[in-house]
Structure 1
Amino acid sequence: MKIDVIGDIHGCFAELQTLLSKLGYENQNGIPVHPEARKLSFVGDLTDRGPGSVNVIRCISAIIRAGAGYYSPGNHCDKLYRYLKGNDVHIVHGLETTVKELQQLDEKERREVRRQFMELYEQSPIYQVLDDGKLIVAHAGIKEKDIGRYTKRIKEFVLYGEVTGRTLENGLPERGDWARHYSGKPWIVYGHTPVLEPRMLNNTINIDTGAVFGGQLTAFRYPEKQTISVQSSLPFDSGRFREFPGLL
């Protein structure tokens, strides 16, 4: 099984198209198809902050409907889903950019994009178990003991990761380092926490290289265990990246 797992897109549609081309995918009736029959996988956080969230929704929705890839949601996907359901959510932390895009559509287009995203979210697993369990794709990661289980606690971890309960100077929650203690055999590919370079550790790899913060959009090629990245066109914001001393 050959999979290309793509990190947090966050509305960076142009970078997604560039990465797909660099990976060797060809557009066939709107669906990226690889000559070696590779499939795509997405770690979630498709939208928010970047300039092309609506186009990303349309693209990923079409890929999943065509059976050309896999998707599981991230915390931003979860929040957008709750917003589209009519729940009372705060339109902050990037959601405001997606809402603005939606508001600029005519009513028919807006209903269609809403339908596409709602269907995508509702029909997707909270994390992906691929290649007979040898590859796990989970937005913020997952602990070995929880693979194959689906509870509210596990969903919270997969969406938001491990948190320490402390707050950083920028107001964001301090995140734990579950990957440092992972000792399982399945490869776990995740994102959620922006890093300057893909972070590979203990059969895990974080491929959120902060495209929306001026970093890169990265793919992890499985089973080759290689990364391929493209540079973002957006301004670089160094304060958004987490450093893991000695491990990057």
Structure 2
Amino acid sequence: MSGRLIAVGDIHGCHKEFEDLLEKLDLKKDDRLILLGDLISRGPDSGKVVALAREHATASLLGNHELRHLNYRRTDDPTHLKKYDYATMEQLRGKDWDYLESMKLTYSDEELGVVFVHGGFLPDRPWQRQPARIVTRIQVVGKDGEPHKRSEMPDAPHWSTLWEGPPFVVYGHTPREEVSRTKWTLGIDTACAMGGCLTAYILPEKKLVQVKARETYYRR
């Protein structure tokens, strides 16, 4: 019998909550832990989160926050960064950057019929071929069929409501007070850095495990 497949939503530098969640999960050696991106920024210590990820995660997926930092490192162009990113940069060491560089866009398990991704997918094209700019950032889909932020198009449908699997998609990126379900998707970014929860989803038993944020680290 193989172990559990566990996805964890956006951690955003909340290392204590991540430690609390790891304690609750009580990982065994056959378990696979997949972190859904945005390990860094906003919370108190991105470096500690990446260190825990290196120790415990089977895979960490690329989020839009990692992508932004990597783009800055590659180009020296400060327009990639937000104000709070400078604190994050100071917390990351050489091997942390190597870890960010190694992040994949997706992680799939054919047997369970599930794909993990940070942001999501455009519903009208093959998920395997969608680039980082889409899968790390997508929230809503505009009338133009292209991905947009919720803030730009508040009335446009969220991509997850348009997604008709298979596969079943588990994603982060869109922070909500509660887990968001459709027939073919599950969104588990429950806004830990904003004072919400850090959420794990466990397969095959389809169980949710959460820890409450110890405080609010970031306000929009």
Category of TM-score, reference length = shorter chain: 0.7 to 0.9
- Alignment pair present for 1:147 and 2:127: yes
- Which segments of structure 1 move beyond 4 Å, counting only runs of 4 or more? 165-168
Contact 2:9 2:189 in 1 (8 A): yes
Which stretch has the larger CA shift, 204-213 or 87-96? 87-96
- Once residues 74 and 96 of structure 2 are traced to their aligned partners in structure 1, the CA distance between those partners, rounded to angstroms, is 11
1:225-236 matches, within 5 Å, as 225-235=206-216
Residue identity over aligned pairs, in percent, reads: 28
Aligned letter for 1:119? Answer: D
Give the match for residue 77 of structure 1.
Answer: 66
Unmatched runs of 5 consecutive residues or more in structure 1: 26-33, 103-109, 241-248
**For residue 168 of structure 2, what is the aligned residue in structure 1?**
187
Q: Give 1:134's match in structure 2, choosing from 87, 96, 113.
A: 113
Deviations 1:148-196 (A, max 9, x none): 224xxx322101104448887xxx4346411111111222111111111
Distance of 2:208 and 2:83 partners within structure 1: 28
Deviation at residue 118 of structure 1 after TM alignment: 3.0
Task: Determine the structure 2 residue equivalent to 1:59.
Answer: 52
Q: 1:29-68 to 2 correspondence within 5 Å? A: 34=28, 37-63=30-56, 68=57
Is there any run of 5+ residues in structure 2 with no aligned partner, and where? none
Q: How far is 1:40 from its partner? A: 0.2
**Secondary structure at the residue paired with 2:198?**
strand
Tell whether 2:136 aligns with 1:159.
yes
Instruction: Give the CA deviation at 1:4.
Output: 0.8
Q: What CA deviation, in whole Å up to 9, does each residue of 1:31-78 have, x standing for no partner?
A: xxx16x211001100100100111011221233xxxx51111100011
CA contact (8 A) 1:82 1:89 kept: no
Identify the residue that residue 28 of structure 1 maps to in structure 2.
none
For 1:206, the aligned partner's letter is G
2:88 matched residue in structure 1 = 98
The answer as to whether partners of 2:139 and 2:149 remain within 8 angstroms in 1 is no
Is the alpha carbon distance of 1:183 and 1:93 closer, same or farther for their aligned partners in structure 2, counting shifts above 3 Å? farther
Q: Secondary structure at the match of 1:84?
A: helix
Q: Distance in 1 between matches of 2:122 and 2:139?
A: 10
Q: Using the alignment, how far apart are the partners of 2:54 and 2:129 within structure 1?
A: 26
Secondary structure of the structure 1 residue equivalent to 2:129: coil
Instruction: State the superposition RMSD in angstroms.
Output: 2.5
Q: TM-score, normalised by structure 2?
A: 0.84
Q: Secondary structure at the match of 2:215?
A: coil
Q: How does the TM-score come out when normalised to structure 1?
A: 0.75
Residues 108-155 of structure 1: CA deviation (Å, up to 9, x unaligned): xx6xx2x323322333321112245711111011245322224xxx32
Tell me what 1:31 maps to.
none
Partner amino acid, structure 1, of 2:47: V
2:5 alignment partner in structure 1: 3
Cα distance in structure 2, aligned partners of 1:199 and 1:212? 18
* 1:209 to 2:208 alignment: no
SS at match of 1:20: helix
Work out the CA distance in 2 between the residues paired with 1:157 and 1:197: 24
